[in-house]
Amino acid sequence: MNLKELYQDIILEHGKSPRNFGKCTGHNHEAKGHNPLCGDQVHVYLKLNADKNVEQLSFEGSGCAISMASTSIMTELVKGKSLTVAKNLVDAFLNMVKSGNEMVTKDLTEEQKLKIMSLSGVKQYPMRVKCATLSWHTLVSAIDGKKDDVNTEIIDS
């Protein structure tokens, strides 16, 4: 596989300049996640409003280009969605990077789908799948208000 399929321009760009970085104002949910094998860490903040919509979504943390880009794109795509849609997107994403299937969802525009599918190349690199999935698991943890930090070694095994 060509490295450029993994490190597409959109991934490098989001990796270098992640969107929604920092604590969002008024957040009422948050969760931490880490990958103990490599030391990657992410802290997801989200504001759920009275209508159960993700009004704000942001993150802090450090990691490789894949994990930063995955988190950055996640915040862009999930922000503004209802809780149900947010969870469906997480499922569709995890299914995509683990199985290699297309991102199956009716909740994104074609352009958004293309953006998220830039991460599908990661399935060719089994050691890197966890880099892409860490923040998505952490988002679920924040939504569900789980107390324990997300640990990729437990959740992905």
Interface residues with another protein (CB under 8 A) are 3-4, 6-7, 12, 16, 37-41, 62-66, 125, 127-128, 131
Tell me whether residue 33 or residue 63 sits nearer to another protein (CB atom).
63
In the bound complex, what is the minimum distance in angstroms from residue 18's beta carbon to another protein? 13
Minimum distance from CB of 39 to another protein (Å)?
5
Composition of the chain by helix, strand, coil, percent to 5: 50, 20, 30
Q: How far apart are CA 51 and CA 146, in angstroms?
A: 21
Q: Which is nearer to another protein, 37 or 83 (CB)?
A: 37
**Ranges of H-type helices in the chain:** 3-6, 9-16, 65-78, 83-99, 110-117, 129-144, 152-155
- CB-nearer residue toward another protein: 6 or 108: 6
